Amino acid sequence: MPSPEPPPSTGASGRPAGPARPARADARRNREKLLAAAGAAFTAADDTVPLEAIAREAGVGIGTLYRHFPTREALVEAVYAAELDDVTSSAPVLLAELSPEAALRAWVDRYAAFVATKRGMIDTLRAGWASGSMATPTTRERITAALAMILAEGARTGSFRTDVDPEDITALLFGVFLSTAASNSPEQNGRLFELVIDALRPMGGR
C-alpha cells in the first residue's frame, strides 16, 4: 500500500505556504526611489550624507530604507552597481541613436556623472573593498569595454582613427577627472573632453 503524501507545509498562519511571491510593485518602486535619491545626494555631498535625509528625499520612512538596505555599505554598494550598469549599458543605446562622435560625447558626459556620484561615497567604497565586505567591481574593464564599442564604430565609419587603444582613452578621461576634481568645473571638463575627442579624429578630418 503506498505511503500517504506528506501534508503541505504551512506558514505561521496555518495556511498552506505557497511559492515565494515576487517583490510587490510598490516595494520595487521604493527601492528605485531610494537609489535615485541616494545617487543625487552622494553627487551633491561635501560630507557624509545622513540616511534619514535620503529616506526623506525618496518620500519613505527610515524603516523602509533599512528594509531594503540594512547598512550604509549596502546602500552605497547598490548605488554604485546601479550607476555602473547604467553608464556601461548606455553605450549601445547611444550608438543606435547618434553618430559615433555624438554618442561618444554623450557617453563621456554620462561617465562624468558616474564619477561625480562616486566621489560622495568613495570613503565607504574604499573601506568596503579593503575589508572584503564589498566585492571589488571590474569598473575599469567595463568602462573600457563600453568605450571600445563606441571607438570601434567610429573607426568603422571613418569618424575616428583606427590605431587608438581604448585603454589609453580611459586613462586620458581618468586624468581629466583627477585633474579637475578640486575645481569641479563642468565647463573645463567639457573643453578637455572636446580635446580628447578631437585627438581621435583622423588627421584629414580635423
For the record, the C-alpha cell of 156 comes out as 568603422
pLDDT of residue 38: 94
Read off the pLDDT band of 116 (50, 70, 90): confident
* pLDDT score at 3: 41
Does residue 19 register a pLDDT over 70?
no
- Which residue shows C-alpha cell 526623506? 56
Mean pLDDT (the chain, rounded):
85
Residue 104 has a pLDDT of 97
Residue bearing the bigger pLDDT, 21 or 163: 163
Query: Beta-carbon neighbour count of residue 171 at 10 Å?
Result: 12
Model confidence band, residue 205 (pLDDT cutoffs 50, 70, 90): low
In this prediction, residue 10 carries a pLDDT of 42
pLDDT tens sequence across 138-186? 999 999 999 999 999 999 999 999 999 999 999 999 999 888 877 777 8
d(CA 178, CA 170): 12
Distance of CA 92 to the CA centre of its chain: 16
pLDDT of residue 204: 62
- A 10 A CB-CB count for 67 gives 14
Which fold is adopted by the domain 77-205?
Tetracycline Repressor; domain 2 (1.10.357)
CA 137, 142, 143 angle in degrees (round to 5)?
110
CATH class for the region spanning 25-70: mainly alpha
Q: What are the domain boundaries of the chain?
A: 25-70, 77-205
Q: Quick one: average pLDDT of 91-102? A: 97
The pLDDT score that the predictor gives to residue 150 is: 97
Cβ atoms of residues 94 and 111 within 8 Å: no
